[in-house]
Amino acid sequence: MTQDEVFALVLRRFDEKEFQYMVCGSVAAILYGEPRMTNDMDVVIAVLPHRAHEFFQMFHSSGFYCPPVEVLEQEFRVRGQFNLLHDDTGVRVDCIVLKDAPFSCEEFRRRQRVPFTETQDASLARPEDVILGKLQYYKEGKSEKHLTDIRGILRVSADQIDRAYLDGWTERLHLEAEWLKVTPT
């Protein structure tokens, strides 16, 4: 099984069980931008603690390492994060529980269904939200790969980007200096 097949399998399971989710991070940047290697897939999920057992069963019984139910309940409650690991391939999916912050809620509300594989659609963050997330990651860790991903999105998907929305949130999130590193004027 390839990395992409593992990613698609996880998203199919989310859809089947009606777990609300949004692919973001590098996988979303690749889909809107330019191809590159990535080690994992970041997925924001909106799951309540009472569904922790169902979530655990869905993955534990199908070839994934999934944290114990008690850990899942806690992470869902505190809006933390955890990993799923595919047993046969070691492919990792980082599950980030939806935060109760204005940008996080707006980004999740705006997610859209797009083609993920030839036969499967998935819920993805919109390109400008992926850019904002990458700017935040860059601000925290200074990794150039985030700026490279943003430049790729701007080259490939420029016509899809809501610049007014992007400019507004760049200011609200205090990311102007990071944005200038991508688009110097």
> 7-34 pLDDT, tens per residue?
999 999 999 999 999 999 999 999 999 9
- pTM for the full predicted model: 0.94
Q: Are 64 and 7 in contact (CB under 8 A)?
A: no
- Between these two residues, 89 and 62, which has the higher pLDDT value? 89
Q: What is the pLDDT of residue 185?
A: 61
pLDDT band with cut points at 50, 70 and 90 for residue 62: confident
Q: What is the pLDDT of residue 66?
A: 97
Is the domain defined by 3-182 classed in CATH 3.30.460.40? yes
Q: What is the pLDDT of residue 122?
A: 97
Buried b or exposed e, range 148-166, using 16+ CB within 10 angstroms: bbbbbbbebbeeebeeeeb
The percentage of the chain sitting over the pLDDT mark of 70, rounded to a whole number, equals 99
pLDDT(184) > 80: no
Q: What is the pLDDT of residue 12?
A: 96
pLDDT(77) > 80: yes
For range 83-102, the mean pLDDT: 96
> What are 170's two structure tokens?
């760049």
